[in-house]
Chain A
Amino acid sequence: MSVEWVAVLAKTGFVITMLLSVAPVMNWVERRGAGFIQIRRGPNRVGPFGLLQTVADAVKFLFKEDRVPAHVSPFYYFIAPIVVLVPACMTFAVIPFAGPITIAGQVIPMQAADLNVGFLYIFAIASLGVYGLIMGGWASNNSFSILGSMRSSSQMISYEISLALSVVGLVMIHSTVELGQMVKLQSEALLSFGPIVIPRWGIFVQPIGFLVFLTAVFAETNRLPFDLPEGEPEIVGYHVEYGAMKFATFMMAEYMNMAVASGLAVTLFFGGYQLLPGMGTVLGALHLQGSTQDWIRVLFEIISFTVKIAFFMWFFVWVRWTLPRFRYDQLMDLGWRVMFPLSLANICVTAALVYKGWV
């Protein structure tokens, strides 16, 4: 086997393993985080700090009776959770988690798939998640779940538009859609005040784009304050007829989508895998040579990328336990009357700035 094939298999394995382990870890973080914010303890009985609680939950989900209600359409009812989960697993493929490395004379980009359509691939695949909701609601043959799936899918479609438009400004500035290229371009300095250098990160060149992006991402991943697809206390969601592992699969997909959204936010707006402040100095001080230096650099970049993603994942949890839920009409108003015009205005202003050569 050539180096290329080994690299492809290793990268894919790495990404999939990380993504699949995100769900249990985040479940623990979320519950402990909720406890922390609400000044209570959260799960702390199973294992140290309650770390094994999610394992216990997973075992419970797996051994629960897998009851299928009599009135559902069996085939679609069965595949709906899979249809939600598969796009969630696929989207991380194009996000670079470290800079390219040269092995045996071949430059290996550190992303599972180096496509020149870049994040268009993510939007394309992510837009398929909505079929799982529609299928789940429709196959349940229950008026409440059909209404729930209608509500969730129209929410996702509405915010998909703002999400896609919010990054157009970045594409105009960097004139590329490739994520690896975009991270590289963000390493240049935007402004420098003496020793403090502000890099050309997306958030500094496109602050409004970032705001719209972040809001749309919360709606797309069905997280509070936009978690109307679930909305346990007031309304019935599309997965009301689901139980046991099938329901857990929906939840798993949500956490994976959160990871993808965080990865995309970091890559587009926070310099991706670029080293955190101070790490560059440490790397320089180690005085390493050749391939060792390369590997240590990749390791450092993976660590920086993970730390940045972890911050965003925490941010999701933080917001969830801070803001109350939106009402459905408020959600749609915000999407169409605020976010959509804002992202269009952002595109126009950015176009003018790019034309003048100011950005």
Chain B
Amino acid sequence: MNISPGFFYVFAGTSILFSLLVILNRSAIASAFSLLVVFFSFAGIYALLDAHLVAALQVLIYAGAILVLFIFVIMLLNVEQASFDYKRGRILTGVFAAFGAFGMVFLLGRVFRSGSAPLQPGPFSPENIQAAGGNTRVLSELLFSEYVLPFELTSVLLLAAIIGSVVLAKRGVIEKKSKEAK
């Protein structure tokens, strides 16, 4: 009962369609909601690949936390329609877009050309993971043993980013207050 390929095309199709909607939508909030669907389709694809933990974390973190923040920002700034002046940066944007598209095509070409040789499967085949107690266990064991240093460093990096953003946001407020005090 292999039903995965059908579902893969459904999820892949949805993610491509809604990725396009993210950039083509005029309303910022509609873009954000399209991005939500994209995250969901990605989670679906991860789940089809038996990576249930990655799928759950994708939904929990990206869809459940980060995107909520995006939407908060959009709602608070009230950017209803595109406030960006398209005419001013048209040439520069065009040049950047052309470079980006060219780079993308180049990368895809490289990937597919070297993809003629069969890929070597790693040690973590679905059977091995099943035998070791499911992928939540395997992944967390790796995360807290072999990769504990990069993992902790990432969290420090995120903490630094949070403190940085708070400092930047508070700077104006503090200066204003000290001026008022004078």
Contact = CB atoms under 8 A, between A and B. Distances in A.
Contacts of A118: 136
Given A134-B75, A157-B68, A117 B53 contact: yes
Chain B's interface size range is: 20 to 34
B42 to A, nearest CB: 13
Interface in A125-143: 125, 127-128, 130-131, 134-135, 138
A326 interface: no
B64 A128 contact: yes
From DSSP, what is the main secondary structure of chain B's interface residues? helix
Given A127-B65, A130-B68, A131-B36, A146 B75 contact: yes
A275 B136 CA distance: 29
A157 B70 CA distance: 14
A116 B60 contact: no
A125 B68 contact: no
A340 B68 CA distance: 20
B60 A127 contact: yes
A144 interface: no
A58 interface: no
Nearest to A156: B68
Chain A's interface size range is: 20 to 34
B59 A125 contact: yes
B159 to A, nearest CB: 15
B56 interface: yes
B63 A128 contact: yes
B60 A124 contact: yes
B21 to A, nearest CB: 13
A49 B57 CA distance: 46
A342 interface: no
A123 interface: yes
B22 interface: no
A34 to B, nearest CB: 33
A120 interface: yes
A318 interface: no
A120 B56 contact: yes
A221 B128 CA distance: 40
Given A124-B60, A124-B64, A125-B59, A117 B75 contact: no
A115 interface: yes
A134 B53 contact: no
B66 to A, nearest CB: 11
A177 B137 CA distance: 9
B135 interface: yes
A150 interface: yes
A321 interface: no
Given A115-B52, A128-B63, A131-B36, A120 B57 contact: yes
Contact of A117 (B29, B71, B136): B136
**5 closest residue pairs by CB, A with B:** A127-B64, A116-B134, A124-B60, A124-B59, A117-B56
Interface of A: 2, 5, 76, 115-118, 120-121, 123-125, 127-128, 130-131, 134-135, 138, 146, 150, 153, 157, 160, 176-178
